[in-house]
Amino acid sequence: MDQIELLKRCQEGDELAWEVLVRREQGRVCSIAYGYVGDRDEALDLAQEIFVRLYHRLDTCRDTEKFHSWLLRISRNACLDHLRRRKARPPRQDIPADEMPALKSAVPTPEEDWIQSSRQRLVHQALRCLSEISREMILLKDIQGLPLEEIARLLDLPLGTIKSRSSRARVELARAIVDLGGGPGGPENPGSIGAEAAS
């Protein structure tokens, strides 16, 4: 079904259309929420909150052709609100897993269960090592595929700044992956660096 038509039906109060819209967009919204908060349960709760917010603001989406930009904007605002609230709460005193090797379990964590691909897990792990702005750039541009002009409008920054930040963020991510010992040169893909470099 056409996205514009679907959105119009939702705005008219068609509950079936809303269900289809939720099913269609839930993966994207969950991915955005997870990218911002980095925790599976928190991301699911946040994604629900985003959908509730979206539902009550459907009639404010005037330009139905730009629905995805609008959805991204709402999701981003909800995520930032959530992070702000989380900052206001006292931090949890978690022990880093790396410091407690005895506690490491062979049973996969919910995150490992959720994100099947080890490559994607590695990228998520590397994303957590980046600065907030770099992580957001990767999320919006490279993962969600938002055009640079749209990101500039969303973040209210000049296009040139967005371009340079995007490039820097990609290099930071690549460096984080190399530092984590993963990527094409990691244990899963030994020798591929040399091969690709030679080609």
Partner 1 sequence: MMQGGRNDRDRRRREEEFVQGVLGQTSGSACNRAANQLPGLADGELAALDRQLITAHLEHCGQCRALAVTLGWLEPLLPQMAEIDPGPAFTRRVLQKTSLAAPGMSAGPIIEPGGFGPAGWMDRLGRWWGERILRPIFPMQVAYVATVVLILLTSTPISPLRGTPGRVLETMRAGSGPLPVFGPVVGAAGESAGLWITQRVDATGGHIVRVVRGVTDQWNRRIERSAPARNRLNESIRDCAKQLRQGQLSDAGHFVPQIGHAAGESWRQWRGREASPQNESEANVNPRSMDRERSTP
Cα–Cα distance measured from residue 22 to residue 25, given in angstroms and rounded to the nearest whole number: 5
Q: Taking contact as CB under 8 A, which single stretch among the options 90-98, 101-109, 129-137, 142-150 is the one that binds partner 1?
A: 142-150
Q: Taking contact as CB under 8 A, which single stretch among the options 99-107, 109-117, 129-137, 154-162 is the one that binds partner 1?
A: 109-117
Cα–Cα distance measured from residue 30 to residue 167, given in angstroms and rounded to the nearest whole number: 25
Q: How many CA atoms lie within 13 A of 26 on its CB side?
A: 10
Among 39, 44, 73, 153, binds partner 1 (CB under 8 A): 44
Among 62, 85, 92, 128, binds partner 1 (CB under 8 A): 85
Residues present in the chain in total: 199
Cα–Cα distance measured from residue 94 to residue 82, given in angstroms and rounded to the nearest whole number: 20
The letter for the amino acid at 176 is A
Q: Taking contact as CB under 8 A, which single stretch among the options 18-26, 94-102, 128-136, 150-158 is the one that binds partner 1?
A: 18-26
Tokens of 193: 């660096």
Per the CB < 8 A criterion, the answer to whether 135 and 35 are in contact is yes
Of 34, 47, 44, give the one whose Cα is nearest residue 78: 47
Q: Taking contact as CB under 8 A, which single stretch among the options 82-90, 101-109, 128-136, 151-159 is the one that binds partner 1?
A: 82-90
- By the rule CB under 8 A, 69 interacts with partner 1: no
Cα–Cα distance measured from residue 75 to residue 29, given in angstroms and rounded to the nearest whole number: 7
Please tell me the count of residues contacting partner 1 according to CB under 8 A.
Answer: 59
Residues that bind partner 1 (CB under 8 A): 10-13, 15-16, 18-19, 22-23, 26-28, 30-31, 34, 44, 47-48, 51-52, 55-56, 58-59, 81, 84-85, 87-88, 114-115, 117, 119-120, 123-124, 138, 142-145, 166-168, 170-171, 173-175, 177-178, 183-185, 192-193, 196-197
